[in-house]
Amino acid sequence: MLDSQSNELIIGSSVIVEGLNIGTITNSYGFFSITIEEGNYNIRIQNLGFKDNTQNINLNKNLILNIFLTEEVESLNEVIVVENSEDIDIDLPVLSLNILSGKTIRQTPVVFGESDILKTIQLLPGVSSAGEGASGFNVRGGAADQNLILFDEAIIYNSSHLFGLFSVFNSDAIKEVKLFKGGIPSSYGGRLSSVLDVYQKDGNNQKTSINGGIGAISSRFLIEGPIQKNQSSFLVASRGTYAHLFLKLTDIENIAYFYDINTKSNFVIDNRNKIFLSGYFGRDLFKLDGTFMNTYGNSTLNFRWNHLINDKTFSNTSLIFSDYYYGLELDFVGFDWKSGIKNLNLKFDLKNYYSNEFQFNYGLNFIYYDFNPGTIGPLTADSGFNFSKLNKKFAFENSTYFDVLHKISNRLSMRYGIRINQFLRLRQNGLQKYIDNNPLFYDIDLGIYDPAKPLANNFDNNSSVFKTYNNIEPRINISYSFNNQSIKASYNRLNQYLHLISNTSSPTPLDIWVPSGPYIKPQKLDQFAFGYFKRMKKLKIETEIFYKKIKNRLDYIDGADLVANDNIETVILAGKSRAYGIEFLLKKSDGRHKFWLAYTLSKSEQKTAGRNSSENGINMSEWYNTPYDKPHDISINSEYRINKKLKIVGNFIFQTGQPTNYPNSQYTYMNLNVPNYGKRNSQRLPNYHRMDVNLTLNTEKKNKKVESSWVFGIYNLYNRDNASSIIFRRNNETLKNEAVQISIFGIVPSVTYNFKF
């Protein structure tokens, strides 16, 4: 399935054989297969944003078709969260999945006028932000590190620029986004809460085109075109901020900016073989003069080969490299810290369209991890720090999966499969051994945990592998449809072998990824979901209930030192967590006025008990709120087309305040007032809410080759002071302790000029 203007592969098109009630959907590479008897048929193809295409075929032998769809101009700027094949998605055995095309996010109002994938998915039920100005997102009460984020199949470890103000994804270069909140197919693994799978455009192999946007503090630019017409193409996209340039005109020495580059090329070898090469590079720099400088970013490279083995079997082979770097320079103490994580990923996926009733998917995946927890060195010659290097860690994650799409009848269908994975923690220097294999010492008299003293510097293991974990993950989705309605159910088991150790509510560039091993077990999730879906003439209703429980969820002990800790197992405890709730989504996607309303009622909590009855654990071994527990989450998106030139879009968001800790008393020690904190996460920040609006003006075209528009936006329309955090300090004038709310954004106007030619 191809775009007639660019030969871009089209994902998620519905292909229906009229009169037979048989249909399918194009996969992530634009491929589909249908088996029918000989004869004359009308094949109808539909996709959001394209004109319907009906083709008549005379089938007397196996037939390979390249079908071209033409864009429907009136749909280019729609902002609809929708599965592209609306006519048949209600029948599919797919639960907790949302699909967005690159066109759906460009008018969503966000801070500084930059369209943003992460801000758009946070309007969906079950998805919430990690906080104002914070990176990452939370899905169904899960932590931000429990989201598997893929960009052209490469793993992204930090999805945000400037601590959450922008995402790393340039929407101009994006073809489609899939978000799995549950019902995750067995082809995915390694994270517990969700999968955000982002597909980059392939590049136009018909003609050269340029588009971009110029904003108040950032701009973006994309160029794509043929290397050899109809055979190969290229794409290069770039973004950057330049607000820091204006600071040079003042006495302000602080700097904050980012830039990123997307590249992709594809080559058509013949009708059965295509090769793709894609890459991403991004960097952030944040500097406070005389204090510190922080630099971090992602780099990825992917070589992919698509091969059509036969008329029913499609394969994809990828070799992927991913690198996440983060560093910190502390000027006032002369401290230089560099850290990172790299992985090399080889994956092979095979899709066999056996018949209209059966589709088989299976594959292999091998990932090698290289963890650099930190290299510490002196920043200047007179620094008091000596060079030191934390012990690097290495691991292999291997998996194989088998997945079946089974259409039992016109009403009943299933998707079931299994994923088998193995995690190998490889030998490293400096892994400690402790008495009774307990890296934590518990002081019964004081009721506190302290790091245990190691017995030796080297772990007693003669093998090249310290620890091996083997797990089996069953997956099943069931759908029963009737009268434009359906009920669906799913069960997932997943394991997560990587852990983000943090004492903040959202990821920061300084948090450390650590692998499972002798002292850190993999997290294990079981999730159940049940949904009811109804499609009416103009409205669509989606309701889901979910429950998930997690074993071996880590939390830090009181007083834990997490930064530059070479023995992180001495400051963490493993517990269990659970999350449950109900999600509701009402959508209207036709007419001049389009909208969706999303509401989530949920609970997310954790219990970290002691290792035996004499230990208090965390929070006296009682259940406590996770940092991402937000019982009420409401999102409203509304779009009204005033005329052909003008369109107004608005968002309203309300979330229960984020759990936090406030001091409930204080005591005096050596003339110092020392706060005393109560149970963990027992208080909350004030409730979060805001409204954003955008007005889009499509200007007159100077000629048929040029398109342009102005986007005027206001973020936080009524200037709500949402709390990023609350700090407690001593007032120098009154000499009393006081609470101070920290807010990042008030009202933020923006203007962006978009162009395409």
User: Residue 698 to residues 74, 76, 278, 712, 713: CA-CA distances in angstroms?
Assistant: 12, 12, 32, 11, 14
Extract the tokens encoding 24: 């399918």
Place of tokens 């030139």: 645
Assign 3-class secondary structure to 438-478: CCEEEECCCCEEEECCCCECCCCCCCCEEEEEEEEEEEEEE
In order of start, what are the domains of the chain with their CATH numbers? 86-756 (2.40.170.20)
**Bridge-based pairing state of the strands 2-3 and 68-69:** parallel
- Counted residue by residue, the chain has a size of 757
Residue 88, pLDDT score: 40
Residue 534, pLDDT score: 92
In single-letter form, the type of residue at position 186 comes to S
Instruction: Find, among 704, 703, 658, 666, the residue nearest to 682 by Cα.
Output: 658
- Residues 23 and 42: their CA atoms lie apart, in Å, by 12
Instruction: Find, among 368, 370, 434, 429, the residue nearest to 569 by Cα.
Output: 434
Segments of 311-411 assigned E as strands:
313-330, 335-352, 358-378, 388-389, 393-407
What DSSP assignment string belongs to 469-525? EEEEEEEEEEEEEETTEEEEEEEEEEEE-EEEE-SSSS--TT-EEEE--SS-PPEEE
- Residues 639 and 595: their CA atoms lie apart, in Å, by 6
- Residues 558 and 565: their CA atoms lie apart, in Å, by 15
Is the pTM higher than 0.75? The answer reads: yes
Place of tokens 């005096």: 668
Instruction: Find, among 380, 283, 379, the residue nearest to 326 by Cα.
Output: 283
In single-letter form, the type of residue at position 547 comes to Y
- Residues 669 and 200: their CA atoms lie apart, in Å, by 58
* Residue 555: other Cβ atoms inside 10 A: 22
Extract the tokens encoding 494: 């997943």
**Bridge-based pairing state of the strands 485-496 and 465-482:** antiparallel
Cα distance from N-terminal residue to C-terminal residue, the chain? 24
Place of tokens 């996709």: 47
Q: Burial-class residue 546 by CB neighbours within 10 Å (0-12, 13-18, 19+).
A: buried
618 φ, ψ to 5°? -105, 135
Extract the tokens encoding 733: 């004038």
Residue 89, pLDDT score: 62
CB 36 within 8 A of CB 64: no
Beta bridge partners of 198: 151, 177
Helix (H, G, I), strand (E, B) or coil at 211: strand
CB 166 within 8 A of CB 105: no
- Residues 413 and 490: their CA atoms lie apart, in Å, by 12
Q: Which residues neighbour 704 within 8 Å (Cβ) at sequence distance 6 or greater? A: none
Place of tokens 């978000």: 179
Half-sphere exposure (Cβ direction) of 705: Cα atoms closer than 13 Å:
5
Extract the tokens encoding 120: 């758009």
Place of tokens 């009204």: 640
Residue 369, pLDDT score: 96
- Residues 89 and 94: their CA atoms lie apart, in Å, by 8
- Residues 56 and 83: their CA atoms lie apart, in Å, by 26
In single-letter form, the type of residue at position 92 comes to L
**Bridge-based pairing state of the strands 748-756 and 707-715:** antiparallel
Half-sphere exposure (Cβ direction) of 657: Cα atoms closer than 13 Å:
16
571 φ, ψ to 5°? -130, 15
Residue 83, pLDDT score: 38
CB 182 within 8 A of CB 244: no
Residues of the chain with pLDDT under 70: 1-14, 19-23, 27-33, 46-50, 61-65, 71-89, 102-113, 133, 243-253, 290, 332-333, 383-384, 456-462, 503-511, 563, 673, 700-704
- Residues 395 and 427: their CA atoms lie apart, in Å, by 9
Instruction: Find, among 438, 443, 466, 472, the residue nearest to 453 by Cα.
Output: 438
CA torsion 134→140→145→147, rounded to 10°? -110
Extract the tokens encoding 631: 């019982």
The radius of gyration of the chain's CA atoms, rounded to the nearest angstrom, is 27
In single-letter form, the type of residue at position 580 comes to Y
User: Residue 601 to residues 259, 631, 655, 656: CA-CA distances in angstroms?
Assistant: 37, 5, 10, 10
CA torsion 428→429→433→437, rounded to 10°? -20
